[in-house]
Amino acid sequence: MQKLHPVHPMGTSARILLTSVFGPYAQNDEYGSREINPMELYHNQVTRIQGGFSLRMFHRSFSLLMLQANIDAPCTVLDFPSLEEFIREIRENEYDIIGISSIITNFYKVKKMCELIRAHRPDTTIVVGGHISNKENIDHTIDADHIVKGDGIQWFRRFLGQDEKKPIRHPMVYSGFGARITGINLPHIKGRTAAILIPSVGCPMGCNFCSTSALFGGKGKFINFYDTGDELFSVMCQIEEKLSVRSFFVLDENFLLHRKRALRLLELMEENRKSWALYVFSSARILQGYTMEQLVRMGITWVWIGLEGENSQYGKLDGVDTRFLVKTLQSHGIRVMGSSIIGLEKHTPKNIENVIEYAVSHDTDFHQFMLYIPNPGTPLHEQHRKEGILLSESELSLADSHGQFRFNYRHPSITDGREEEFLIQAFHRDFDVNGPSLYRLIRTMLKGWQRYKDHPDPRIRDRFQWDAAPLHSSYAGAVWAMTKWYRVNTQMSEKLTLLLKDLYRTFGWKTKILAPVTGYYILTKLKQEEKRLAQGWTYEPGSFHEKNAAALALEHTGTRRIRIAIPETPRSVPDHIPAHGS
């Protein structure tokens, strides 16, 4: 018999708090925070060993914001609170429902938060969702009333008695905050930061290790929030107007897979002369199904591709020469984030050097390396469970099972914790051979500008002009600084000098005069940053406290005590950002 969906007796009168797990994150503590697992996507698993060149940036808990935007009840979002802030929030405010979103790594924090809610608000209903919902026995190991797997929007709509068929409202939010590189905090410039756009969740490709695909049904399944290009275009226009943006970070596991929708969006962009830039995730074979001309016209500016590993047998890589694909994309100004796996079944200490060399040979702009980790809910986890090779929690803490440290199972050939050594080796080799991602990114942007600056279509020309704006000033300065930084490294020095000359040739004497001035400043900040990092400095996101319209209205009735939003000073594994490329 089908289980009845739970319904809250107060419906949309219930007061709701949605929260992420508490910080600080980049430190070792008893709640499972780990210094090597900061709340920063890039520094956590992409540029982690690039020192002062590492891209530091935080991303909001978009799942909470999506939920809040689609809940009619008074709803507050608390993002990145400290433990004290969380306790204060639940002590000083009456909530009927508290929802916590988390990944499995943060299990101990969720457990603690549930205990605190029971102690301070025994009548409150606790709802837990996100990847943690796939953990075995989760309903017996934390004290929550409901564990929600998959789409939380539909679940909450039913729980509160809302109309389930209503169109999905998209939150208006920037893709990142607190960006910092070479020791410089990047200012938020209106129109330059991308907005987040979430057209779908899940991916039907169903790769055996992919937890984001597994969370939304696995192979063959996905959920479209916007089915058509017309719906998506309309949402993008609203976001464009509200946030004054012209670029979108498309948080969709495999955006280009939905071909009809993507091509209709392109039509509408052209009809309405929208010169937007899109940052997307796409699997290689799907990407190859489009012509470069289509991708450029669609505004694809940055793409995250799963390269996985040579002969890795994933259907999404069938018949694709990934090195050629990366090079071609870059020649059109499209920045590439490649994603490679360390520890596939056939990797051994003997062949790992070749595995790394293959990944590095792609010379992508950014390269993510992750351990091959079976996360609960995935086919890989089920396979290892049947084989009896998963490690127990007493052998490996859940807090250490984040893909940048240890396998959570017994690998056939890589033993004695050597996986971390190989992972770090991959990051270092990529950095040593290909240089800082900042250099690679500038190189690709310049190629795009040189190729498209005189394009006959003003929409395309305009985008490249906008995209290339920092090249003749701050980025040229950054390349100047890098030439000084690498002056004793002949290989890098030659590459950087070539790029600097190319920038001077392209942008002329003003750039040639300004680059050393801004470059000197960047070099000074870079040296300070390296010193700060050597002293153990870590970076934490500030906390956010935001109410929806119904919660604000309730506040004005004076029936509840309210605190005002508090963006505080800095303090992600982001719960919502895919842990791996498509």
Q: How far is the CB of 313 from ligand SF4 (least distance, A)?
A: 12
**Beta carbons of 8 and 159 less than 8 angstroms apart:** yes
CB of 582 to ligand SF4, least distance (A): 3
Report the phi/psi class of residue 363: left, alpha or beta, with left for phi > 0 and alpha for psi in -120 to 50.
left
Helix (H, G, I), strand (E, B) or coil at 163: coil
Which CB atom, from 212 or from 444, has the smaller least distance to ligand SF4? 212
> Can you give the three-state secondary structure of 425-450, one letter per residue?
HHHHHHHHHHCCHHHHHHHHHHHHHH
**Least separation in angstroms between CB 304 and ligand SF4:** 9
Least gap, CB of 483 to ligand SF4 (angstroms): 37
Length of the chain: 582
Closer of 375 and 548 to ligand SF4 (Cβ): 375
Q: Which is nearer to ligand SF4, 37 or 213 (CB)?
A: 213
What is the DSSP secondary structure assignment for residue 19, as one 8-state letter?
Answer: E
Tell me how far apart the alpha carbons of residues 182 and 172 are, in angstroms, rounded to a whole number.
Answer: 29
Closest to ligand SF4 by CB, 102 vs 282, is 282
Q: Considering the complex, state which of residue 256 and residue 476 has its C-beta at the smaller distance from ligand SF4.
A: 256
Q: Which residues contact 367 (CB under 8 A, 6 or more apart)?
A: 46, 337, 338, 339, 340, 359, 360, 427, 430, 434, 437
Interface pick for ligand SF4 out of 45, 47, 125, 283 (rule CB under 6 A): 283
Q: Side-chain half-sphere of 182: how many Cα atoms within 13 Å? A: 23
In the bound state with ligand SF4, the residue whose beta carbon lies nearer, of 156 and 225, is 225
Give the binding-site size for ligand SF4 (rule: CB under 6 A).
Answer: 14
The rounded distance, in Å, linking the Cα atoms of 84 and 477 is 42
Cβ closest to ligand SF4, residue 81 vs residue 374: 374
- CA 326, distance to chain mean position in Å, is 20
Is residue 254 part of the contact set for ligand SF4 (CB under 6 A)? yes
CB of residue 212 vs ligand SF4: minimum separation in angstroms?
Answer: 6
Binding track over 562-581 against ligand SF4, x by CB under 6 A: ------------------x-
Distance in Å, CB of 339 to ligand SF4, minimum? 8
Residue with Cβ nearer ligand SF4 (283 or 437): 283
Nearer to ligand SF4, 128 or 287 (CB): 287
Taking a C-beta distance cutoff of 8 angstroms, is the pair 375, 390 a contact? no
Q: What is the layout of strands, in order, in the sheet containing 300-308? A: 195-197, 247-250, 277-281, 300-308, 335-342, 366-371
Residue 162 makes contact with ligand SF4 by CB under 6 A: no
Show the binding pattern over residues 197-216: x = contacts ligand SF4 (CB under 6 A), - = does not. Answer: ------x-xxx--x-xx---
Q: Which of residues 4-23 bind ligand SF4 (CB under 6 A)?
A: none
Report the alpha-carbon distance of residue 344 to residue 312 in Å, rounded: 8
Question: What's the closest the beta carbon of residue 257 comes to ligand SF4, in angstroms?
Answer: 8
CB of 206 to ligand SF4, least distance (A): 5
Applying the rule CB under 6 A, the residues between 312 and 331 that interact with ligand SF4 are 316
Q: Look at residue 101 and give its three-state secondary structure.
A: strand
The three-class DSSP label of residue 558 is: coil
> Considering beta carbons, is residue 209 or 409 the nearer one to ligand SF4?
209
Of 23, 150, 306, 403, the residue at the interface with ligand SF4 (CB under 6 A) is 306
DSSP bridge pairs for 18: 77, 99
CB atoms under 10 Å from CB of 499, counted, come to: 21
User: Binding to ligand SF4 by residue 39, rule CB under 6 A?
Assistant: no
Q: Which residue from 105, 131, 315, 155 is spatially nearest to 214, judged by alpha carbons?
A: 131
CB 275 within 8 A of CB 552: no
**483 within 8 A of 497, measured Cβ to Cβ:** yes
Least Cβ distance, residue 287 to ligand SF4 (angstroms): 11
> Among 124, 162, 434, 582, which residue interacts with ligand SF4 (rule: CB under 6 A)?
582
Two tokens at 560? 């509840």
Name residue 421's amino acid.
E
Binding residues for ligand SF4, per CB under 6 A? Answer: 203, 205-207, 210, 212-213, 253-254, 283, 306, 316, 580, 582
